[in-house]
Structure 1
Amino acid sequence: MTYRVIQWTTGVVAREAIAGIIGHPDLELVGAWVHSPDKDGRDVGELCGREPLGVTATRDAAALLALPADCVCHMPGRDWVEDPSRTLAGLLEILRAGKNVVNLWWPTLVYPRAESEEVYRRLQEACLEGGSSFCTVGMDPGYGTAGLALSALALSREVETVRMSQFMNNAHWEGPGITKFFGFGRPEVADTPMLQPGVTAGYHATTLHLLADALDVKIDEIVEDHRVIYADEAFDIASGHIPAGTISGVHYEVKAVAGGRDRIIVEHIERLREQDFAELEFKGDGYRAEVVGEPCVRLEMTLSSKPDFVGDGIAVASAMSVVNAIPRVCEAPPGVLSLFDLAPFPSRNSMIRRSGS
Structure 2
Amino acid sequence: MVRTYIGFTDGYAQVQHKDYLSTPAMRDSFQVTEALRTALKDLPPDVSVGQRGVAYVLLSSDTRSIGAQILGVEPEAEPSISTIPSNIVQGDYLSKNDQVVLGEVLARNLQVGIGDSITLLGVGHDASLAADVLTVAGVFRTGITDIDRTLAEIPLKRFDATFAMDGERHSIVLNGGDMAALRHEVRGLRPLVEEEGLALRDWTELQPSLDAAIRLDATSAVLIYAVLIVVVVISLLNTLLISVLERTREFGMMLALGVKPGLLGRIVWVEIGLLSLLGVLAGMLGGVILTFWLGRQGIEFESAQAVFEQYGMSGTLYPELTSLTLFAGPAVIVLALLLAGTYPAFRIQGLRIIEAMRAA
Larger CA Rg, structure 1 vs 2:
2
Task: Please state which band the TM-score falls in when normalised by the shorter chain.
Answer: under 0.3
TM-score of the pair, normalised by structure 2: 0.25
TM-score of the pair, normalised by structure 1: 0.25
More helix by share: 2
